[in-house]
A and B are shown apart, each in its own frame.
Chain A
């Protein structure tokens, strides 16, 4: 079942006439003939959960937007920067009108008169495509109820966090805000703001076309619909795949993406981008949906599977994760700013052979002090996967630490007997 990815490689799909030939903008026309409340009710009935990471129901979020005559804003979060995630890029590059139509419908449903697409600065070429398509739609008079602007960022992972995104869109440094108030009440320019991910908004035209209750029949009861899964890392066919939620994780990793190269085994996998706690081989048969991933102690996140096979040491993965979040911490909250840097320093120390297995305890302690203690979840996004790696791979990490230490101190590596002259007294 392909909705978002339906014939996505059709030539010139980014052109208005091609998109219209296959029924594009019909949903917008139909939505504009409905009352805003009816549109919100359809979205609510679909059970669509946010595709950006948090998985909050879009219909609920839209219903939080206050009614009445005031400046209200719709913001599409296209700051896709989560390591392992590249679905929004393909959606916007190949089918930009689908997103524009979804935004038109969402703006009507919530009464937003201004809309912005906050696209990450590195996606300049995608922004060019999106802007060209937007101009076509505006010139054709399809978006008369809302002023839509494509806003390009300048490279900051934190701007994918909704309140940091709003500050950045207001022209400031991308620092997260204290919540509450939530953006639905006080968001952009202090006005009510609905923020949704590219994939979420791109799904909206399909919900209006099919009807909310029909859409809800796809997927599982609490994870309805289809999802674009970005599979990367040690797989033979990395890429984006549209699946129905609830499909077995093994079928995605091995069936669609081809699994790790011959003769190698899956050691660990991130089910929802680098921020999600890692899972192991024994979790491969879990259904890929919001609840199954949460029950296994992880999360569906942005729907990005990163597969790591048995040729890569876990400590290397921890180092890449820690390095990324250290670089991207905005520096506003101390536990995150200091905690990420501390964790990176400790992981590097382990790798250099200057640590003892006891440092794993200290490192886990640092993670506990980050989680839940900051304005946003950037710190948690490092702490949770690092803590999960220590939990699932403690033996390997201890061995890595001991081996590195022995190598550094010139001692024999592994189980070889220690020469008597080197035995510490």
Chain B
């Protein structure tokens, strides 16, 4: 883990003192309970503030905006760092703890340090595994090895079993994949091209022939 060290009681901390979040970590007995951050001492990038405020305006109660706001902060910072969470808390007038509990719950909010990166989620659930997801996942991991800005991980069902085995590359669904496609995915990401264009789900017609126009 970068940028962290173990403090008293073996609690991992960031350099500025905040505890690294995680449900399985020991309680932090040293630090005072966090309060709603003071706007005077918590600078928030104007762009991020505007986006969070827009989300807050959509709901009858502002707390509902916590997931979209955290995801916006993650896009801005690369991950839900203590700093990012503090900024969201400051704008939403919530405690960082209330947002940290949300950030640690969901799969798409990262609470471990990560530089800005490309996400490659390889589905390894039943339907994909039946059609060779394990080999595809191994190949993707091998191709992404040493590429610091490509984050490959196995993922639960992404809802595209019609193109199994599949992966979501920065949110773009591609499949059916073969192990050989792993290198192409990495090359396409490197070159900034659309990923595996001919295997993108968005271009696929419905399977039900009678439903086609």
Interface residues of A (CB under 8 A from B): 2, 5-10, 71, 80-86, 88-90, 93-94, 114, 120-125, 149, 151-157, 168-174, 189, 230-234, 237-242, 256-257, 270, 274, 304, 306, 308, 312, 316-317, 320-321, 324, 327-328, 330-331
Neighbouring B residues of A86 by C-beta, 8 Å = 159-162
One of A81, A149, A308, A331 near B156 (C-beta < 8 A):
A81
The answer to whether A174 touches B206 (Cβ under 8 A) is no
From known contacts A7-B211, A170-B61, infer whether A122 and B102 are also in contact, taking CB-CB under 8 Å. no
B interface residues, how many (CB within 8 angstroms): 51
**Cβ contact within 8 Å between A324 and B64:** no
State the CA gap A10–B213 with chains docked (Å).
6
Quick check: is B65 within 8 A (CB to CB) of the other chain?
yes
Residues of A within 8 A of B60 (CB): 71, 114, 189
Is there an interface contact between A171 and B213, defined as CB atoms closer than 8 Å? no
With both chains docked as a complex, state the minimum distance between the C-beta of B58 and any C-beta of chain A, in angstroms. 5
Inter-chain contacts of B106 with A (CB < 8 A): 121, 153-156, 174
A5 touching B159, Cβ below 8 Å: no
> B172: CB under 8 A from chain A?
yes
The docked-state distance in angstroms from the alpha carbon of A241 to that of B105 is 34
With A6-B211, A174-B105, A321-B126 known as contacts, the answer to whether A232 contacts B164 (CB < 8 A) is yes
Report 17 cross-chain contacts, Cβ distance below 8 Å, ordered by A residue. Answer: A2-B208, A83-B125, A94-B206, A122-B121, A123-B159, A125-B173, A153-B106, A154-B108, A170-B61, A171-B63, A232-B161, A238-B164, A242-B208, A316-B129, A320-B124, A324-B125, A328-B156
In contact, A5 and B162 (Cβ under 8 angstroms): no
CB distance from B211 to the nearest CB of A (A): 4
The reply to whether A239 and B162 form a contact with Cβ atoms under 8 Å apart is: yes
Assess whether B40 is interfacial by the CB under 8 Å rule.
no
CB distance from A75 to the nearest CB of B (A): 12
Q: Report B's interface with A, CB cutoff 8 A.
A: 23, 58-61, 63-68, 70-71, 101-102, 105-109, 121, 124-127, 129-131, 155-164, 168, 171-173, 202, 205-208, 210-213
Closest A residue to B101 by beta carbon equals A173
How far, in angstroms, from A230 to B172 measured CA to CA in the complex?
Answer: 20
Query: Out of B67, B202, B210, which one reaches A168, CB within 8 Å?
Result: B67
Once the chains bind, are B206 and A83 in contact (CB under 8 Å)? Answer: no
Task: Contacts A122-B168, A124-B171 given; indicate if A240 touches B207 (C-beta within 8 A).
Answer: yes
A242 touches B211 (CB 8 A): yes
Is B66 in contact with A171, judged by CB distance below 8 angstroms? Answer: yes
The docked-state distance in angstroms from the alpha carbon of A121 to that of B72 is 12
Q: Are A171 and B206 in contact (CB under 8 A)?
A: no
- With beta carbons under 8 angstroms apart, the residue of B109, B155, B160, B213 that contacts A7 is B213
Among candidates A84, A124, A242, residue contacting B157 with C-beta atoms closer than 8 Å: A84
**Which residues of the other chain, B, contact A237 by a CB distance below 8 angstroms?**
207
Q: Tell which of A84, A153, A231 touches B67, judged by Cβ atoms closer than 8 Å.
A: A153
How far is B158's CA from A7's CA once the two chains are assembled, in angstroms? Answer: 25
For residue B109, which residues in chain A have a CB less than 8 angstroms away from its CB? 154-155
Q: Given A124-B171, A125-B171, A239-B208: A230 and B161 within 8 A (CB)?
A: yes
Given contacts A232-B162, A232-B164, contact A8 B65 (CB under 8 A): no
Which residue of chain A has the shortest Cβ distance to B70 in the bound complex? Answer: A154
Nearest CB of chain B from residue A285's CB, rounded to whole Å: 22
Beyond the given pairs A125-B172, A232-B161, A241-B207, 8 more chain A to chain B contacts, judged by CB atoms under 8 angstroms and listed by A's residue number, are A8-B212, A83-B125, A122-B171, A149-B58, A171-B61, A171-B66, A306-B130, A320-B126
Contact status of A306 and B126, CB under 8 A, knowing A114-B60, A154-B70, A328-B156: yes
- CB <8 Å contact, B130 and A312: yes
Contact A93 B107 (CB under 8 A): no
Contact of A233 among B67, B107, B130, B202 (CB under 8 A): B130
List of A residues within 8 angstroms of B127 by Cβ: 83-84, 232-233, 238, 306
- Cα A159 to Cα B67 in complex, Å, equals 13
Quote the shortest CB–CB distance from A186 to chain B (angstroms): 15
- A319 → chain B, closest Cβ, in Å? 9
- B157 → chain A, closest Cβ, in Å? 4
Please report the C-alpha to C-alpha distance between residue A255 and residue B48 in the assembled complex, in whole angstroms. Answer: 52
| Interchain CB contact under 8 A, B206 and A152 | no
**A174 vs B102: C-alpha distance in the bound complex, in angstroms?**
8
Chain A residues, Cβ within 8 Å of B171? 122, 124-125
CB distance from B51 to the nearest CB of A (A): 13
B70, B105, B125, B208: the one contacting A240 at CB < 8 Å is B208
For residue B208, give the distance in angstroms from its CB to the closest CB of chain A.
4
Report how far A84 CA is from B206 CA in the complex, Å: 16
Inter-chain contacts of B23 with A (CB < 8 A): 331
Chain B residues within 8 Å of A149, by CB: 58-59
A239 (CB) vs chain B CBs: closest residue: B207
Looking across the interface, which residue of chain B has its beta carbon closest to that of A150? B58
B107 touches A155 (CB 8 A): yes
For B155, B156, B159, B164, which residue has the most chain A Cβ atoms within 10 angstroms?
B159
